[in-house]
Chains A and B, each alone.
Chain A
Amino acid sequence: MHIPDGFLNIATVATTYAVSAGGVGFGLRQAREKLAEKHVPLMGIMAAFIFAAQMLNFPIVGGTSGHLIGAALAAILLGPWAAVLIMACVLIAQCLIFQDGGLLALGANVFNMGLIASFAGYYLYRLTTRLMRDDRRGKLFGSFIAAWGSVFLASIACAIELWVSGISPIKMALPAMAGWHALIGIGEGLITVGVLRLVLATRRDLVELQRI
């Protein structure tokens, strides 16, 4: 869902850059207050995993592929602000080193896949584990819902940006983006559940960290 340059107009570029910069700045302050020693390697590992997994596009129907975003997974384990920081670092590196996602579109990409996806994932997980039970089943189910919802909502944010930039009418961009990403979100959900199962089986303590 990395937006290239050329899709967004100046107003959208400026707005999303401002909001994302503010979000990252606030996230840095939150992290400085709450980061504990145990968070440090997990932050690095989460970012490395998200980068590597994002390279692995999986096929879905109709000659289309999708890849993990990873913000929900990061938000479930580390909290939404830590997830925003991780996603921002991954997206900045992808943009600067790998020319994936435009320089001008970076603000929008951090907004969609960082802020929107992280907070959607975090609160959907909290809601589900509260409605069900915060046991193993509830955690795994909650992580699927969180992951699916994070992709779905990020794609809606992306569609709105395309619409306000005048590149695609909302009645075309919204159903198309939301439709494809409803499918891609299933892949996001399965990967997120798989990783959480692995963490629960091997290092349960990493699921009990203070969220940032």
Chain B
Amino acid sequence: MRVKWWHIALGICLVVAFISPLASGSPDGLEKVAEDHEFIGFAEEAPFQLIADYLFPGIENEALATILAGIIGTLVIFGVVYGLARLLRLGKRATE
């Protein structure tokens, strides 16, 4: 199989996911505003949890849990959107 540009690009995305444990743990803009103006307490927990907070459950090493969550997410998102675009292409051909 010939290496296409997007194989390399997907590799770059996975590298970005791999370094995600380096992310700043500080609150983001909205969280900061919610803390400063004291409405962060209104935030509700999700009714169910899969890979909550980008930590793969059951792994003690936080960096590893983050990397695993990141790589799974990156691959799932790629598959879903690539698949959606493929389906839309098929839909176009079917109506032509």
List A residues at the B interface (Cβ < 8 Å).
Answer: 1-7, 28, 31-33, 35, 37, 39-53, 55-59, 62-67, 85-86, 89-90, 93-94, 96-100, 102-103, 155, 158, 162, 167-168, 172-173, 176-177, 180-181, 184, 202-203, 206
Contacts and interface: CB of A to CB of B under 8 A. Distances in A.
A168 B20 CA distance: 32
Interface residues of B, number: 59
Contact of B77 (A48, A57, A99): A48
Interface string B42-84: 1110110111111000000000001001100111111111101
B37 A176 contact: yes
Nearest to A34: B92
A43 B81 contact: yes
Given A6-B44, A31-B85, A64 B28 contact: yes
Given A35-B89, A37-B89, A45 B26 contact: no
Given A45-B13, A177-B29, A180-B33, A35 B70 contact: no
Nearest to A95: B46
Interface of B: 4-6, 9-10, 12-14, 16-17, 19-20, 22-30, 32-34, 36-37, 39, 42-44, 46-47, 49-54, 66, 69-70, 73-82, 84-86, 88-89, 91-92, 95
Nearest to A47: B81
A49 B13 contact: yes
Contacts of B54: 55, 98, 100
A65 B84 CA distance: 32
Contacts of A28: 88
Contacts of A167: 39, 42
Contacts of B25: 57, 65
Given A31-B85, A37-B89, A55 B6 contact: no
A52 B39 CA distance: 29
A35 B90 CA distance: 10
